[in-house]
Amino acid sequence: MRHNKCKAANRKSESRKLVFFYFLLLSSYFLLLSSCGYHMVGSRLLSFDSIHITHVDNKTYEPKLEEKLHNALSEEFVTQGIKAGGASSDVTLEAVITRFELSAIGTIDASVREQEIIMFVDVRIIDSGDVTEFKSIGSPIKITFETAGTVPQAVDQRDRASIKASREIARDIVSRIIINYAK
């Protein structure tokens, strides 16, 4: 019995040493990064607490795309700790969807089975009269969907893919804004 207590005490001591070692390693890593000029970027470094997203302008023929992008932008700003507020907000964001295309990437017997969504957005950020523009922001990843099945199934797949494309573009836009303001 006494032998088991010693083993338990040794394991506890070893686990404390391991935790301390990992803490030391992680601290050294962050110290090394900060000494090289790297720093963590987040919404705490921004000069504004809220942003007003004006009506998203859809210059394409794809219906309801402006709603999907507006919702995705609002959700992403909130996720990053930035309030998506009304016209009294510190900063205003204007977005224009300039391009939406479907491209066939998979066919079987002359029938399209998989398509890719290509979408581009121009953005203007207005902050106390200063204007920052980002042109032709597209999804950083390829967004595809299957077109097999019934027509309602294919429409549903296309709708989910356009929501995903809007979310990916919104993440890219918010990231660019955070990086731009962190400079």
Q: List pLDDT tens digits, range 64-101.
A: 999 999 999 999 999 988 888 877 787 899 999 999 99
The domain spans of the chain are: 1-39, 48-182
C-alpha to C-alpha distance for 73 and 53, rounded to whole angstroms? 8
Cβ(149)–Cβ(136) under 8 Å?
no
* Residue 91: Cβ-neighbour burial (10 angstroms; 0-12, 13-18, 19+): buried
Asked whether residue 33 carries a pLDDT value surpassing 60, the answer given is no
Dihedral pair phi/psi, residue 59, rounded to 5°: -90, 10
Asked whether residue 43 carries a pLDDT value surpassing 60, the answer given is no
In the numeric block, which tokens belong to residue 134? 């980002």
Residue 138: pLDDT band (50, 70, 90) is very high
Tell me the range of 3-7, 22-26, 38-42, 157-161 where mean pLDDT is highest. Answer: 157-161
Residue 108 bridge partners (DSSP): 111
Average pLDDT, the chain: 81
Range 48-182 has CATH code 3.20.20.70:
no
Residue 111 DSSP SS3:
strand
Asked whether residue 42 carries a pLDDT value surpassing 50, the answer given is no
Asked whether residue 3 carries a pLDDT value surpassing 60, the answer given is no
